Chain A
Amino acid sequence: MPGEAPDSEPADASETGVRGIVDGEEHEVDPRSVTVARLVAMPTILAVAIVPLGGVTLAWALGGVPSYVYLPLLTGWNVLVGAALVWAYQWPELRHRHLRYRVDESGVRIRRGVLWRKVVSIPTSRVQHTDVSQGPVQRRFGLATLTVYTAGTEGASIGLEGLEQSVAERLRDHLLPDHEDHDGAEGPSPRSRER
């Protein structure tokens, strides 16, 4: 049942090792995830921006593009890239501020969205499997993404990024064991092996 947490005292170190996480309280993800998102987005923008810029600059240097076209183009492009960089710096923080998760015995609830808000509830009984993944930048910071898979369509996989790795792993274990006994007959996909 939502809001119902059998183990709601964070101080009480439960033997399952999910103290302070499976408590029916809303949590933020690790604030360092903001830095991670910035470190991923900003170089990407620069890398994407530099290619056409380099091309046009080369054409200008070779005399293919007159200066009265090149200079406004250069200015416009720089303004655009600058705006994109500011956005890439600001947005992760906004997004982080609006990202919350709540776990209790019944399931996970993820609340996100800056303008378009969305709350997704995933009952533990509907979790097919879970995995924890790490990008290269995330690994530097010891962060990870928890992905929860259901049998649904739109919500077939639901990601929660920016968790501290140990938290992500404990959540994975919390969501997992219930389903291992069913796995034989009810899993989502029969296996096909290639030889």
Chain B
Amino acid sequence: MTTPEVHRLHPLSWLFITGNTVKRLVIPAILVLFASSTNPLARYELLSLIAIGPALVVALFKQAIYSYRFAADELVIREGFLFRKERHIPYGRVHNVALVRNPFHRMLGVASARVETAAGGEPEAVMRVLSLAAVGELRRHALGKERAAALPAAADAEAPPELATVKEAASSGILLRVPAGELVRLGLISNRGFLVVAAFVGVVSQASWWELDWEAYYGAARDRAPEWSAWLFEPGSTTSLGLIGVGLLLLLFVVLLRVFSVAWHLTKYYGFVLARDDDDLRAEFGLLTRVSSLIPVHRIQLVTMSASLLHRWSGRAGIDVETAGAMEGSGEDGDQLAGMGSRSNRQWLAPIIAADRAPALIRAVIPEIDVEAVDWEPLDPRAVRRIFKKALLALGAVTGLVTAILALTPIPVSPWHALWLPALLAPLIWRGADGWVQNAGWALTDDAVFFRSGWLARRTSVVRFDKMQTVTMRESPLDRRNHMASVAVDTAGAGSEGHRIAIPYLDLEVARGIFERLYGETCGTEFNW
């Protein structure tokens, strides 16, 4: 074995390392500048900008110290400023070398590479930043020769070959392309607009709005309002007109939400392409920050197909998978790499797809999983009453609370009116419980366990037997009274949110059967990440 050559980061790395810190300092500083027109104390927050100097120094040190080399069977990374650290990452464990390129990266011809292993937790290494040629070399080493062989030679930095992989693979199997029109539709049927609203609220709250002279604004608005809207400002304007005004505002809010949502989805998933290349899936997406990631099919632990009410009305669904590996984009890298769906390591196979094409796409990725060919088994029919009772209990508590409030406070409404609450909601709850149970179901095939649930928003999840870890059967006190139980399957890299294989409200005997069968199937297979 020849002594491996030591590699360093791209000479411009300091720019990106500092950039991350600066982003966090400068954006609040800009907000402060806005806010400080009304609140002079806020200017002191600008002092935090002093930290940029040291950040730059640290960044230069980091860049100087960070080095990596490709040993025979492992990637060795040296890093650390005060505490030096040497990491050994065996190639066999690397399951993804993901790239992130925002417009700055593209301008300078570099990329942030993130080496993900099956370990869970933080990504094994984030290399910020590498030249495209270096990325090619990294991928060739870390992902193995045969996988690299599928890629074109990475010598030419002009035409970034690693980033062209999806296009190259066009002949070898594009599984899905999401056109911009579909993303607009996705924006319309999703609620992502709230993210933008939350950000907006954040900005507004920075500006100490409560100190603003609202009466002056109101007066100015009234003076400039056109003739036809004068009624809005009349002191004696009737309640109904006021209500119309509020209604219009709400409508505007909803429209804005949708506009934001569409914009968010377009920016994030623009040009989404999913391609299959032997055992690997390649996904590429993003308008400003272009993300290119690689998902080895055999690392997929759980597949979920989901559809909200609006999705179903428009005949669409989404498919995502959980892979074992890089979980929370922890620490300083979290915000930059959040665009990869790395939180709770879920990744979209399809952010949106025609519902009737979804099973075929899953089959194309994992042939053993055929959602259409599954014989669904129902939950125990007693589940409806149990869910209903549980909800009634909560409803009773709320009703009691509302009654108490109406009785004890000077609100001029009779406490009896609180009874409208159960009268109106109970039938709805019954309908919901019934719908939930009707739609929920489980299935065992030769290779996998399926579970679906949800009433308005529905989700179906699949885990192959060789990806199961432990199998658990639970009996709550109420379960025992009803001779029922639930069965759950644990998988590697499961996020805190997201759909699980956890089948509730089963008859005890049925639950035992599933439990034993799943355990037997798990024992009969070898887990291979």
Per the bound structure, the CA–CA distance linking A184 and B493 in Å amounts to: 20
Q: Is the CB of B86 within 8 A of A192?
A: yes
Q: Is A177 an interface residue (CB 8 A)?
A: no
8 Å CB contact of B472 from A121, A189, A192, A193: A121
Q: Is the CB of A152 within 8 A of B490?
A: yes
8 Å CB contact of A192 from B88, B475, B492, B522: B88
Q: Is the CB of A188 within 8 A of B118?
A: yes
8 Å CB contact of A190 from B117, B519, B528: B117
Q: Is A126 an interface residue (CB 8 A)?
A: yes
Q: Which residue, A115, A150, A154, A191, has most C-beta atoms of chain B within 10 A?
A: A154
Q: Within 8 Å CB of A123, what residues of B?
A: 470, 519, 522-523
Q: Is the CB of B473 within 8 A of A119?
A: yes
Q: Which partner residue on chain B sits nearest A151 by CB separation?
A: B492
Q: Is B386 an interface residue (CB 8 A)?
A: no
Q: Is the CB of A121 within 8 A of B90?
A: no
Q: Is the CB of B523 within 8 A of A1?
A: yes
A-B contact pairs, 5 of them (CB 8 A): A1-B520, A154-B494, A188-B118, A189-B120, A193-B85
Given contacts A185-B90, A190-B93, A194-B83, contact A116 B528 (CB under 8 A): no
- Per-position binary interface string of chain B over residues 82-108, scored 1 when its CB falls under 8 Å from any chain A CB and 0 otherwise: 011111111011000000000000000
Q: Is the CB of B528 within 8 A of A195?
A: no
Given contacts A2-B519, A121-B471, A186-B529, contact A115 B477 (CB under 8 A): yes
Interface of B is mostly: mixed
Interface size on A, residues (CB 8 A): 37
Expressed in whole angstroms, the minimum distance between the Cβ of A192 and any Cβ of chain B is 4
Within 105-122 of A, Cβ neighbours of B (below 8 Å) are at 106-107, 109, 113, 115-122
Interface of A is mostly: mixed
Q: Within 8 Å CB of A185, what residues of B?
A: 90, 92-93
Q: Is B417 an interface residue (CB 8 A)?
A: no
Expressed in whole angstroms, the minimum distance between the Cβ of B345 and any Cβ of chain A is 10
Q: Which partner residue on chain A sits nearest B472 by CB separation?
A: A120
Q: Is the CB of B515 within 8 A of A121?
A: yes
Q: Within 8 Å CB of A2, what residues of B?
A: 516, 519-520, 523
Q: Is B324 an interface residue (CB 8 A)?
A: yes
- Per-position binary interface string of chain B over residues 510-529, scored 1 when its CB falls under 8 Å from any chain A CB and 0 otherwise: 00000110011011011111
Within 24-76 of A, Cβ neighbours of B (below 8 Å) are at none
Q: Is A153 an interface residue (CB 8 A)?
A: yes
Q: Within 8 Å CB of A155, what residues of B?
A: 469-470, 472, 490
Within 205-259 of B, Cβ neighbours of A (below 8 Å) are at none
Q: Is the CB of B523 within 8 A of A106?
A: yes
Q: Within 8 Å CB of B523, what residues of A?
A: 1-2, 106-107, 123-125
Q: Is B476 an interface residue (CB 8 A)?
A: yes
Q: Is B167 an interface residue (CB 8 A)?
A: no
8 Å CB contact of B84 from A117, A154, A188, A195: A195
Q: Is A158 an interface residue (CB 8 A)?
A: yes
Within 159-188 of A, Cβ neighbours of B (below 8 Å) are at 184-188
Within 59-89 of B, Cβ neighbours of A (below 8 Å) are at 83-89
Q: Is B491 an interface residue (CB 8 A)?
A: yes
Per the bound structure, the CA–CA distance linking A126 and B491 in Å amounts to: 11
List chain A positions with a Cβ less than 8 A from chain B.
Answer: 1-2, 106-107, 109, 113, 115-126, 150-155, 158, 184-195
Q: Which partner residue on chain A sits nearest B474 by CB separation?
A: A118
Q: Within 8 Å CB of B515, what residues of A?
A: 119, 121
Q: Is B119 an interface residue (CB 8 A)?
A: yes
- Per-position binary interface string of chain B over residues 476-509, scored 1 when its CB falls under 8 Å from any chain A CB and 0 otherwise: 1100100000001011111000000000000000
Q: Is the CB of A126 within 8 A of B527?
A: yes
Expressed in whole angstroms, the minimum distance between the Cβ of B159 and any Cβ of chain A is 33
Q: Is the CB of A190 within 8 A of B470?
A: no
Q: Within 8 Å CB of A126, what residues of B?
A: 468-470, 522, 527
Q: Which residue, A2, A126, A186, has most C-beta atoms of chain B within 10 A?
A: A126
Q: Is the CB of B469 within 8 A of A193?
A: no
Q: Is the CB of A192 within 8 A of B87?
A: yes
Q: Within 8 Å CB of B528, what residues of A?
A: 186
Q: Is the CB of B480 within 8 A of A117?
A: yes
Given contacts A118-B472, A125-B527, A188-B120, could you give 14 more A-B pairs where the C-beta distance is less than 8 Å?
Answer: A1-B520, A2-B523, A107-B519, A115-B476, A116-B474, A119-B474, A120-B472, A121-B472, A123-B519, A126-B468, A155-B469, A185-B92, A190-B89, A193-B87
Expressed in whole angstroms, the minimum distance between the Cβ of B295 and any Cβ of chain A is 18
Per the bound structure, the CA–CA distance linking A163 and B523 in Å amounts to: 25
Given contacts A125-B522, A126-B522, A192-B88, contact A154 B124 (CB under 8 A): no
Q: Which partner residue on chain A sits nearest B502 by CB separation?
A: A154
Expressed in whole angstroms, the minimum distance between the Cβ of A61 and any Cβ of chain B is 41
Per the bound structure, the CA–CA distance linking A151 and B528 in Å amounts to: 10
- Per-position binary interface string of chain B over residues 261-295, scored 1 when its CB falls under 8 Å from any chain A CB and 0 otherwise: 00000000000000000000000000000000000
Q: Within 8 Å CB of A106, what residues of B?
A: 519, 523
Q: Is the CB of A117 within 8 A of B474?
A: yes
Per the bound structure, the CA–CA distance linking A136 and B124 in Å amounts to: 36
Expressed in whole angstroms, the minimum distance between the Cβ of B489 and any Cβ of chain A is 9
Q: Within 8 Å CB of A190, what residues of B?
A: 87-90, 93, 117, 119, 124
Q: Within 8 Å CB of A116, what residues of B?
A: 474-477
Q: Is the CB of A193 within 8 A of B527?
A: no
Q: Which partner residue on chain A sits nearest B500 by CB separation?
A: A154
Q: Within 8 Å CB of A193, what residues of B?
A: 85-88
